[in-house]
Structure 1
């Protein structure tokens, strides 16, 4: 199982780099070429959401991205450090962030809706330590040459 980890300052200009790295690692992992645009878009949406939450909450900690390749799938986790009162969220669920993070709920719902529209296997969780969006795609095993 190969893993690439990124940590970047919660600034919008770093989201593009995360998208490019995710697409490169997904390609190397064997994600179908036709799906790479969806990977880029989903990662961009998840990272932009995390950046927005960090900025709204006045946090200086980095956004975390973990890209993991295993035998049959490629997964990406995007984590933020913004605590939430609700123990778990599901795609499309209302994100009940604390009053200190005054992000409009419609923007949060829209970002999660876009991600869940792009990714079949997505899980969104949040607790008092922060939020995590986990996405995965199937991979095509490398062809064995004779």
Structure 2
């Protein structure tokens, strides 16, 4: 099992780097070439969501991305340290909070549309999105 961990400041310009790293590691892990665009888009959405949560919450901790290559699957975990309200509940008062919740739910819907195997956990001390794709073993040359 190989693992790559990436931490970056909650700045939108770092999301592109996270997408590129995720695609490169996914390719090396054996994720089907046809799915790599979905990997890039899903990681970009998850990282953008985490960056937004950190910036809106005034959190200086880095966003954490863990890429895990296992025997028959490849997973990416994007973690934030933002305090989360229960899914479907407003995070605060007023229209701004409602818009934030709506944007958050839209981001999760986009990720769910891109990735078949998604697990979202969220609580008082942060949240995590775990996305998993199947891998194919490398072709062996016949001699």
The normalised TM-score by structure 2 is 0.91
Question: Of 111, 114, 122, which aligns to 1:115?
Answer: 111
Secondary structure of 1:104's counterpart equals: helix
- In structure 2, the partner of 1:94 is 88
Asked if residue 143 in structure 1 is aligned to residue 136 in structure 2, the reply is no
Unaligned runs of 5+ in 1: 87-92
Q: CA deviation at 1:94?
A: 2.4
Q: CA deviation at 1:16?
A: 0.1
Q: CA deviation at 1:96?
A: 4.9
- In structure 2, the partner of 1:55 is 55
Secondary structure of 1:83's counterpart equals: coil
Q: CA deviation at 1:104?
A: 1.6
Q: CA deviation at 1:98?
A: 5.6
- In structure 2, the partner of 1:90 is none
- 1:10/1:60 contact within 8 Å kept: yes
Deviating 4+ runs (over 2 angstroms): 93-99
Q: CA deviation at 1:84?
A: 2.3
After superposition, residues 19-98 of structure 1 pair within 5 angstroms as 19-86=19-86, 93-94=87-88, 96-97=90-91
Secondary structure of 1:48's counterpart equals: helix
Superposition CA RMSD, Å? 1.6
Q: Deviations over 1:89-110 (max 9, x none)?
A: xxxx5265466x9462110111
The structure with the greater share of residues assigned to helix is 2
Q: What is the aligned residue count?
A: 139
Q: Indicate the structure (1 or 2) with the bigger Cα radius of gyration.
A: 2
Secondary structure of 2:7's counterpart equals: strand
Secondary structure of 2:118's counterpart equals: strand
Secondary structure of 2:14's counterpart equals: helix
Alpha-carbon distance change, 98 to 4 in structure 1, aligned in 2, over 3 angstroms: farther
Q: CA deviation at 1:144?
A: 2.3
Q: Deviations over 1:105-134 (max 9, x none)?
A: 110111000000000000000112100000
The normalised TM-score by structure 1 is 0.89
Unaligned runs of 5+ in 2: none
